[in-house]
């Protein structure tokens, strides 16, 4: 398999859409590059991946993805520096997490070579699609779906691993105002919250729509049992700054082990910022907002990078966050993106040249 993989077959697209794209005004994840990677699992093994022109896929209506939601995904970005060199950020961690998700969803684990060789072959082909306008990058979506059919509620025997890429701008177009959720939950103990399972996101849409109707952009998820602990912000891990201490919740069954989150913690430590990784209560955040010690809240994730929260709503009251000249969010965002775009020394060994 190793020998085959060094030479991933490439079927080139006869046409390109690249000239139709306005690379200076990109939205997030809505235009796709000319090629994609497809790798099938059948007869008990992952087959050799191949690169093909970007196209719709055909699935049997009885494919288990449609009925039982057996699907997982990852989110990554490719960054181009000023000398046109291309970098990924901690891609082996995405591969590891894909397999953590796979295990939980009873999906066969994908070998590392299929992921890394496949991804780098695809990116070398799609290099011209990596945008360079400030804040933009090539968003990469690796995912696995159950293509095997059957109405029996049990794992499929066939799967597809696909990587699609979308030149993208910022995930949020402006300030992020959040609502602390008191009714719905995104995850529970013993559940799949720690996995990047498609269904985790589907379950968030309705409560998020309700929050949007009330004028918020995003929900802050609290624990399913008491709604007293702050856990995640939509598709981001959450950080709170009280006084000069940066606090984030510990990862658990219910919280995704974000790569941005753990990188931010490392950078903050390197900056000498006081850090606490511990449960955060809603009441301490409300109290801090009232007594003026709540200085910042921000979300962190691959798509959203570091997204400052401008205000939060709780039990019918909105609490505004102060606008700081020198925030932890802007310092940490600068440091992480400087590493990602090869503008700074990579002291932690996170960059991966493609």
CA distances from 64 to 42, 205, 262, 310 (A): 14, 22, 34, 41
Q: What is the Cα–Cα distance from 233 to 218, expressed in whole angstroms?
A: 7
Is residue 208 part of the contact set for ligand PLP (CB under 6 A)? Answer: no
- Determine whether 266 is exposed, middle or buried from the number of CB atoms within 10 Å of its CB (0-12, 13-18, 19+): middle
Is residue 232 part of the contact set for ligand PLP (CB under 6 A)? Answer: yes
Helix (H, G, I), strand (E, B) or coil at 268: helix
How many residues are recorded in the chain?
Answer: 354
Q: Of 8 and 107, which CB lies nearer to ligand PLP in the complex structure?
A: 107
Q: Of 49 and 258, which CB lies nearer to ligand PLP in the complex structure?
A: 258
Q: What is the Cα–Cα distance from 280 to 176, expressed in whole angstroms?
A: 20
Choose the one of ligand COI, ligand PLP, none that binds residue 118, judging by a C-beta under 5 to 8 angstroms depending on kind: none
Question: Is residue 135 within 8 Å of 84, Cβ to Cβ?
Answer: no
Q: Name residues contacting ligand PLP, limited to 57-86 (CB under 6 A).
A: 75
Q: Name residues contacting ligand COI, limited to 229-248 (CB under 6 A).
A: 235
Among 180, 303, 329, 354, the residue binding ligand COI under the rule CB under 6 A is 303
Is residue 166 part of the contact set for ligand PLP (CB under 6 A)? Answer: no
Size of the site for ligand PLP (CB under 6 A): 12
Is residue 302 part of the contact set for ligand PLP (CB under 6 A)? Answer: yes
Among 71, 120, 260, 337, the residue binding ligand PLP under the rule CB under 6 A is 260
Is residue 197 part of the contact set for ligand PLP (CB under 6 A)? Answer: no
- Determine whether 45 is exposed, middle or buried from the number of CB atoms within 10 Å of its CB (0-12, 13-18, 19+): exposed
Q: Of 139 and 314, which CB lies nearer to ligand COI in the complex structure?
A: 139
The stretch near ligand PLP (CB under 6 A) out of 12-20, 230-238, 310-318, 329-337 is 230-238
Among 49, 108, 169, 301, the residue binding ligand PLP under the rule CB under 6 A is 301
Is residue 180 part of the contact set for ligand PLP (CB under 6 A)? Answer: no
Sign of CA dihedral 181, 302, 327, 270: positive
Is residue 168 part of the contact set for ligand PLP (CB under 6 A)? Answer: no
Is residue 91 part of the contact set for ligand PLP (CB under 6 A)? Answer: no
Is residue 37 part of the contact set for ligand COI (CB under 6 A)? Answer: no
Question: Is residue 75 within 8 Å of 140, Cβ to Cβ?
Answer: yes
Give the closest residue to 179 by CA, choosing from 215, 143, 139, 148: 215
- Residues in contact with 147: Cβ distance below 8 Å, sequence separation at least 6, in sequence order: 40, 59, 60, 63, 64, 65, 156, 158, 159, 160
Is residue 256 part of the contact set for ligand PLP (CB under 6 A)? Answer: yes
Q: What is the Cα–Cα distance from 178 to 328, expressed in whole angstroms?
A: 19
Residue 136: its H or E element: none
Is residue 237 part of the contact set for ligand PLP (CB under 6 A)? Answer: yes
Over the window 197 to 226, marking each residue x when it contacts ligand COI by CB under 6 A and - when it does not, the resulting string is ----x-------------------------
Helix (H, G, I), strand (E, B) or coil at 323: coil
Is residue 301 part of the contact set for ligand COI (CB under 6 A)? Answer: yes
Which residue ranges make up the site for ligand PLP (CB under 6 A)? 75, 232, 235-237, 256, 258-261, 301-302
């Amino acid at each position: 398999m190793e020998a085959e993989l060094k030479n991933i077959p490439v079927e080139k697209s006869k046409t390109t859409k690249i000239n139709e794209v306005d690379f200076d005004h990109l939205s997030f994840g809505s235009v796709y590059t000319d090629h994609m990677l497809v790798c099938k699992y059948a007869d008990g093994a992952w087959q050799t991946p191949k690169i093909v022109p970007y196209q719709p896929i055909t699935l049997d209506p009885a494919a288990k993805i449609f009925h039982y939601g057996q699907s997982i995904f990852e989110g990554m970005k490719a960054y181009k520096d000023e000398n046109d060199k291309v970098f990924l950020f901690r891609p082996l961690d995405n591969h590891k997490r894909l397999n953590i998700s796979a295990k939980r969803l009873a999906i066969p684990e994908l070998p590392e070579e299929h992921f890394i060789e496949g991804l780098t072959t695809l990116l070398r082909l799609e290099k011209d699609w990596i945008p360079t306008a400030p804040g933009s990058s090539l968003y990469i979506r690796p995912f696995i779906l159950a293509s095997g059919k059957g109405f029996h509620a049990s794992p499929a025997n066939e799967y597809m691993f696909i990587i699609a890429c979308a030149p993208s701008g910022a995930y949020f177009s402006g300030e992020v105002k959040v609502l602390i959720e008191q009714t719905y939950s995104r995850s529970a103990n013993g559940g799949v919250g720690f996995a990047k399972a498609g269904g985790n996101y589907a379950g968030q849409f309705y409560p998020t729509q309700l929050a949007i109707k009330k004028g918020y952009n995003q929900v802050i998820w609290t624990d399913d049992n008491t709604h007293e602990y702050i856990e995640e912000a939509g598709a981001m891990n959450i950080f709170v700054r009280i006084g000069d201490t940066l606090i984030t919740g510990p990862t658990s069954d219910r919280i995704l082990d974000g790569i941005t989150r753990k990188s931010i913690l490392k950078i903050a430590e390197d900056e000498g910022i006081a850090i606490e990784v511990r449960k955060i209560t809603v009441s301490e955040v409300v109290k801090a907002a009232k007594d003026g010690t709540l200085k910042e809240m921000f979300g962190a994730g691959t798509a959203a990078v570091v997204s400052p929260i401008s205000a939060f709503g709780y039990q019918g009251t909105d609490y505004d966050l102060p606008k700081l000249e020198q925030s932890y969010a802007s310092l940490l965002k600068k440091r992480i993106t400087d590493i990602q775009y090869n503008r700074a020394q990579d002291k932690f060994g996170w960059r991966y040249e493609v």
